[in-house]
Chain A
Amino acid sequence: MKKLLFIVLTLTYSITGFSQSFQDEVKLMQSIYGMDKKEIVAEFIELNSGQEEVFWKLYDEYEVKRKELGEKRFEIIWNYVNDYGEIKPEDAEMMMNESIPLRKRSDELVDTYYTKIKNKTDPVVAVQFYQIENYLSDLIRIKLLEEVFITKQ
């Protein structure tokens, strides 16, 4: 519990700077988490000394792929949502055609690395990976959609 609480506190603190940090994922993450993503993951996942090297090798590999998808998510929002948070009716169909496969690919990526991590470390480490990744990505998704919906009003 204590490990997660700081994220929420940082989040409240950083709220005024949000619109500037909305431009790309790295900035948004930094402003929400207040620290590097990898540091959060390192604090959260319980590795024994024999697992560290193999875990971080897989994690770095995962992060490269995840970042590409993360950038794509921002691109979609920037391409289809205007300054007032509105989506043009004629763009709605195209936006969905890009958003749906992207969500699927993000989920599949976490699932694939869950399995890889499980095979190279153990099931508990793999579940911890799955949980912290979902937790952190939920937060990004929530903040992105809040921008869209709030400005829409």
Chain B
Amino acid sequence: MKKTILFIAGILFMNVSFSQDYSIEEVEIVQNLFGAEKKAIIENNIDLSGVDSEAFWSIYQEYETSRKELGKEKIELLHKYTSKKGAITNAQADNLMKVAVPLREREDKLILNYTKKIRKATSSLVSVQFYQIEHYLSDAIRFSVLNNIDFIQDKK
């Protein structure tokens, strides 16, 4: 339960510090939320005993390179449409979804492809842990961004 409390404290803390800074990067969000770098979180939550850990980390690095690009796009998009003061038009709402849905699908596909790669190189269990922790972090980032900026409100 200890970690949950840290996580919640992180969110509350970010309510104060994060709302003033729209240029915050994903790396910083993870650091703020969990008090650790992403790699350390992975090390703590994926059990690599008895499997080829070198193979795992090499695949993981490859995955991270692709994922970081998507992560950046995701945060930019969330800010672009949610930090705007005031109104949003129907046309803007449509445009947002044309970008947001494919982005979510790309991220899901990326996690799934690497889950399969990791399963081949290591074990089913390692791949489940990878799948879960990656979705967890991705959900937590989206949640914290949404929690700290204005949602789309006020129709034009």
Contact = CB atoms under 8 A, between A and B. Distances in A.
Contacts of B88: 124, 127
Interface residues of B, number: 52
B147 A8 contact: yes
A60 interface: no
A49 interface: no
A46 interface: yes
Most buried by B among A18, A96, A130, A139: A96
Nearest to A88: B125
Interface in A48-99: 87, 89, 92-93, 95-96, 99
A131 B151 contact: yes
Interface in B38-57: 44-45
21 contacts: A8-B8, A12-B8, A12-B12, A15-B1, A89-B124, A92-B125, A96-B115, A100-B112, A122-B93, A124-B88, A124-B152, A126-B97, A127-B88, A131-B151, A138-B142, A142-B136, A145-B132, A149-B3, A149-B132, A150-B1, A153-B44
Contacts of A152: 45
Interface string B109-141: 000100100000001110111011101100110
B3 to A, nearest CB: 5
A107 to B, nearest CB: 7
A24 interface: no
A148 B135 CA distance: 13
